[in-house]
Amino acid sequence: MLHEGGIFGFLPLDALAASCIGGTPPLRSRLSASHTMPFDPHSIRDQFPILASEVNGQPLVYLDNAATVQKPRVVLETSLAYYEETNANIHRGTHHLSQKATAAHEAARDRIAHHLNAASPDEIIFTSGTTDGINLVANILTGSISAEDEILISALEHHSNIVPWQMLAQRTGATLRVIPVLEDGTLDFGAFQDLLSPKTKLLAITQVSNAFGTPVPVKDYISAAHAVGSLVLVDAAQSVAHKVIDVQDLDADFLVFSGHKIYAPTGIGILYGKTSSLENLPPWRGGGEMIKEVTYESSTYNELPFRYEAGTPNIEGGIALAKAMDWLSDLGLPSVAAHEQLLIETAAASLADVEGLRFYGPSHRQGSLSFNIAGIHHYDLGTLIDQMGVAVRTGHHCCQPLMNRLGTTGTVRASFAAYNTMEEVEKLVNAVKKAAMMLA
Ligand SMILES: *Cc1c(COP(=O)(O)O)cnc(C)c1O
C-alpha cells in the first residue's frame, strides 16, 4: 500500500482533485487496485441538506463521519413518510395500519439480512445500536461463562466493546484478556494465537478501529477462535459503511453495528446472531413481543428473532436503515470505499510534511486518519480547525486504554464518507497547516 509522503509528494492538490473527479485514470488505478467505477461525490452532495450549512462563516467541511454520518434526503423522507403514512404498532393489531407497519418492519429485516448475506432474517435482531447489541450478547452469555473461563478482546476496542465484557467478567469471575496492539496500530496476531486456549469462551473484536482506521482481518481471528471452541462477536460499527459484509463468509457468531454510522438515523442498530449460536441462549430483557404466553407465575418465550426484541422497537429506524442500505448499494459500496480510500491517502500524503506530525495506525487505513503534532495539544488543534469550518474529532475516541498504550491522551481524527470531496481534503490540509503555524 501507499505510504505517507509517497506518490503525492510531487503533485499539487488540484491535480489530485482532478484525478478524483475523473481526470487522470492512471493515478486512480495506481491507487486502488479494485475494479470499481469511479465515484463522483459531487453527484450526491445535494442529497445531504446539512452539507450546505455554514460553520463560523465558512462552508461546513464535515470530517467526523466515524462518530456519526450525515443522512441522505431519501432516508430522512423514509422516516417522515413512515409517520405520515404507516405509523402503528407492529405484530399486535389486526387493523389495516398495524398490518402495514408490521409488513414494512419485517421487509426491512429481510432487506438488512440480504445486505449482510445472513442465512435467514431470523438472525437479524433490531437493537438501539452497537452498544445495545454488545450488552445484549454479554448478558445472555452470563450463564455460559464460569470463573475458570477467559474472555478475549483486542487493544483496539471502543469502550462499548470493553466495558460490557468487564461487567460480564465481574459477574462470572472469568478473566478478561487483551490482544496487544503493535506500535503501528495493528494487532499482534501471534500474541493473539498465544492467548487462545480451551478456556477462551468469547472473542470480541472490531473489524475496523474507530480511533486509527486500522482494518482488522477478522476472518483469521474468527477461524482461530472457533478452532478452540470460542464464540466470536465482531464490532462492525466502523466497517459497515466502508466494506461489504458477508456474515456467512466471516462465520462470526455475532456481529453488531449502529444505523447512524451507515447513513441511517440514531437509535437503531443490528445484532446479527447465527441461529446455531443464539438459539440455545436465554432471553435478556423481558416484556412484550419477546413472549409467547404469560401468566403471573411464569412465561414462555418467543422464537428468534422476537425473543430478543422486548417492547416496541424503533420501527421507523429499521425501515430507514433498510433504505440507507438500498441507497448505499445503489451507489456501489466498493466504489464509495475506493473513493474514501483516495481521500485518506491524499490527506495522509499531503500532511506528511507537516513538522512534528505523527500518524497513528498503519499506512493502509479505512475510514479514519488519526494524527498529532508534536508540542500541540490535539484539542487546541481541533478547535482552531473548527474555527476554519473543518469538523474533525479530537480526544480519545472512546478508546482510552488504547491511547494510554500509545502514550497519548488523544489524537485529531479526520474521518471520511461518500460525500467528502478532494476539495475538502485540501481544506483540511490547509487548516491543519495554518493551525500548526499559529500554535507552534
Ligand atoms: C461508534 C462505535 C461504537 C458505539 O456505537 P454506538 O452507536 O454509540 O452504540 C462501538 N464500536 C465502534 C468501533 C464504534 O465506532
Which residue bears the cell 495554518?
434
Ligand 1 proximity of 238 Cβ (cutoff 6 Å): yes
418 DSSP 8-state letter? T
pTM listed for this prediction: 0.92
Per-residue pLDDT of 257-288, as tens digits, reads 999 999 999 999 999 999 999 999 999 999 99
Taking alpha carbons only, the member of 379, 376, 375, 388 closest to residue 413 is 379
Q: Give the pLDDT score at 91.
A: 86
Q: Which residues contact 274 (CB under 8 A, 6 or more apart)?
A: 119, 123, 247, 251, 252, 253, 254
Q: Which tops the pLDDT comparison, 37 or 209?
A: 209
Which residue bears the cell 491511547?
403
Grid cell for residue 132: 445495545
The domain 333-439 belongs to what CATH superfamily? Aspartate Aminotransferase, domain 1 (3.90.1150.10)
pLDDT > 90: what percent of the chain?
Answer: 88
Pocket test for ligand 1, best of 131, 208, 255, 260 (most atoms within 8 A of CB): 131
For the domain made up of 101-329, give the CATH fold. Answer: Aspartate Aminotransferase; domain 2 (3.40.640)
Q: Give the pLDDT score at 19.
A: 37
Which residue bears the cell 481521500?
343
DSSP-assigned letters across all residues of 36-66: -----GGGTGGG-GGGG-EETTEE-EE-BTT
Under 8 Å between Cβ of 15 and 28:
no
d(CA 40, CA 51): 16
Per-residue pLDDT of 73-107, as tens digits, reads 999 999 999 999 999 999 877 899 999 999 999 99
Q: Give the pLDDT score at 23.
A: 35
Under 8 Å between Cβ of 168 and 145:
yes
Q: How far away, in angstroms, is 93 Cα from ligand 1 center?
A: 34
At residue 55, does pLDDT exceed 80? Answer: yes
Q: Are strands 390-391 and 368-373 parallel, antiparallel or unpaired?
A: unpaired
pLDDT > 70: what percent of the chain?
Answer: 92
Buried b (16+ CB within 10 A) or exposed e, 61-78: bbbbbbbebbbbeebbeb
Ligand 1 proximity of 317 Cβ (cutoff 6 Å): no
At residue 10, does pLDDT exceed 90? Answer: no
Q: How confident is the model at residue 32 (pLDDT cuts 50, 70, 90)?
A: very low
Per-residue pLDDT of 65-78, as tens digits, reads 999 999 999 999 99
DSSP-assigned letters across all residues of 88-139: --TTT--SHHHHHHHHHHHHHHHHHHHHHT-S-GGGEEEESSHHHHHHHHHH
- Write the Ramachandran bin of 330: left for phi over 0, alpha for psi from -120 to 50, otherwise beta: alpha
Ligand 1 proximity of 129 Cβ (cutoff 6 Å): yes
d(CA 68, CA 440): 31
Ligand 1 proximity of 366 Cβ (cutoff 6 Å): no
Q: Give the pLDDT score at 2.
A: 35
- Mean pLDDT for the stretch of residues 430-440: 94
Among residues 398, 400, 408, 423, the one annotated as catalytic is 398
Q: How confident is the model at residue 35 (pLDDT cuts 50, 70, 90)?
A: low
Pocket test for ligand 1, best of 162, 210, 239 (most atoms within 8 A of CB): 210
Ligand 1 proximity of 273 Cβ (cutoff 6 Å): no
Under 8 Å between Cβ of 431 and 381:
no
DSSP-assigned letters across all residues of 198-241: TTEEEEEEESB-TTT--B--HHHHHHHHHHTT-EEEEE-TTTTT
At residue 18, does pLDDT exceed 90? Answer: no
d(CA 121, CA 114): 8
Peptide bond between residue 305 and the one before it cis (omega within 30 degrees of 0): yes
Q: Which tops the pLDDT comparison, 20 or 410?
A: 410
Domain range list for the chain: 101-329, 333-439
Per-residue pLDDT of 184-203, as tens digits, reads 999 999 999 999 999 999 99
DSSP-assigned letters across all residues of 73-101: HHHHHHHHHIIIII---TTT--SHHHHHH
DSSP-assigned letters across all residues of 303-318: -TTGGG--S---HHHH
399 noted as active-site residue: no
Q: Give the pLDDT score at 27.
A: 40
Q: Give the pLDDT score at 67.
A: 98
Per-residue pLDDT of 322-347, as tens digits, reads 999 999 999 999 999 999 999 999 99
d(CA 338, CA 36): 8
At residue 4, does pLDDT exceed 60? Answer: no
